[in-house]
């Protein structure tokens, strides 16, 4: 599963965000179980990256709930 940037998440429709979030949570769960069982992980830092990605998904969901959305297009500075 890819690690998503916040802008990529914001562009996704809600249904796709929910699907991806569930997939990421499942992957994190598998890694946490493997770690708890004492097995060596191929990439231990992946746990941290997945947790951060989940937080990004939750941030976008909260922005939607509150009606907060940063502008997609940066506004140009007015010419003096």
Most confident region among 2-16, 32-46, 49-63 by mean pLDDT? 49-63
Q: According to CATH, what is the number of the domain 6-66? A: 1.10.287.310
Give the rounded percent of residues in the chain with a pLDDT score beyond 90. 66
Report pTM.
Answer: 0.80
- 55: tokens are 């937080």
- pLDDT tier, 73 (very low <50, low <70, confident <90, very high otherwise): very low
Are 19 and 27 in contact by the 8 Å Cβ rule? The answer is: no
71 pLDDT above the threshold of 70: no
1 pLDDT above the threshold of 80: no
Q: Give the pLDDT confidence score for residue 80 in this predicted structure.
A: 58
């Amino acid at each position: 599963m890819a690690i998503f940037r916040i802008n990529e998440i914001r562009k996704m429709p809600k249904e796709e965000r929910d699907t991806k979030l569930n997939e990421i949570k499942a992957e994190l769960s598998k890694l946490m179980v493997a770690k708890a069982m004492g097995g060596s992980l191929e990439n231990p830092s992946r746990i941290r990256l997945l947790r951060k990605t989940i937080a990004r998904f939750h941030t976008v969901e909260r922005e939607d709930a509150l009606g907060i959305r940063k502008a997609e297009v940066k506004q140009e500075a007015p010419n003096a």
